[in-house]
Amino acid sequence: MLHVIFFSPKIPPNTGNAIRMSACTGSALHLVEPLGFEMTDAHLRRAGLDYHDLAHVEIHPNFDAAVAAVPGRIFAFTGHTDRMYTDIEYTDGDALLFGPEPDGLPEEIMSHPAITERVRIHMVPGVRSLNLANSAGIATYEAWRQLGFPGGV
């Protein structure tokens, strides 16, 4: 199983979309508090459609608790590295870590000893970032593809 970690997400529809992606890929979604919304938020529920009961979602009180729940390596996604996410050979149990909108992961999280490596998603020059849910989807599908789409049809 792949793991996706959202560190302190702020925008409910992005998390709702990630819940839907988690259900569709069989990945686990870990949300690290504080959240910028309530899990009952209508925008979150609407974006996740009826996939909430099909997704594996865990809420953690802090980053260390999320780390303890992940069995594999943790890749921190940031625009501040040259290492591309497509250069990683993903394995079962790996986690893809994303920071909150619009600032991304704080340095103290990217420097945490559990972080295996910082990676980035390809973009054209002059743009700042992709949408959080889109970034998570791009990375999750690449990792899942490399694993042979286990459980997929």
* Residue 49 clears pLDDT 60, i.e. is over it: no
Quick one: pLDDT band at residue 39, thresholds 50, 70, 90? confident
How large is the average pLDDT for residues 122-138?
92
pLDDT, position 23: 93
Residue 75: name the closest of 104, 95, 101 by CA.
95
Q: Tell me if 153 is assigned to some domain.
A: no
* Residue 47 clears pLDDT 70, i.e. is over it: no
How large is the average pLDDT for residues 23-30?
96
* Residue 121 clears pLDDT 60, i.e. is over it: yes
* Residue 41 clears pLDDT 80, i.e. is over it: no
Q: Tell me if 151 is assigned to some domain.
A: no
d(CA 45, CA 20): 10
AA letter at 153: V
Q: In which domain, by residue range, is 124 found?
A: 3-146
AA letter at 104: G
Note the pLDDT tens digit of each residue in 62-110.
999 999 999 999 999 999 999 999 999 999 999 999 999 888 999 999 9
CATH number, domain of 93, equals 3.40.1280.10
The residue that leads in pLDDT, 51 or 90, is: 90
AA letter at 70: V
Q: Tell me if 124 is assigned to some domain.
A: yes
pLDDT, position 108: 96
Percent of the chain with pLDDT over 90: 78
Q: Tell me if 152 is assigned to some domain.
A: no
Q: Tell me if 94 is assigned to some domain.
A: yes
pLDDT, position 48: 56
The residue that leads in pLDDT, 37 or 119, is: 119
d(CA 140, CA 146): 10
How large is the average pLDDT for residues 20-32?
96
pLDDT, position 5: 98
Quote the number of domains for the chain.
1
Q: Tell me if 44 is assigned to some domain.
A: yes
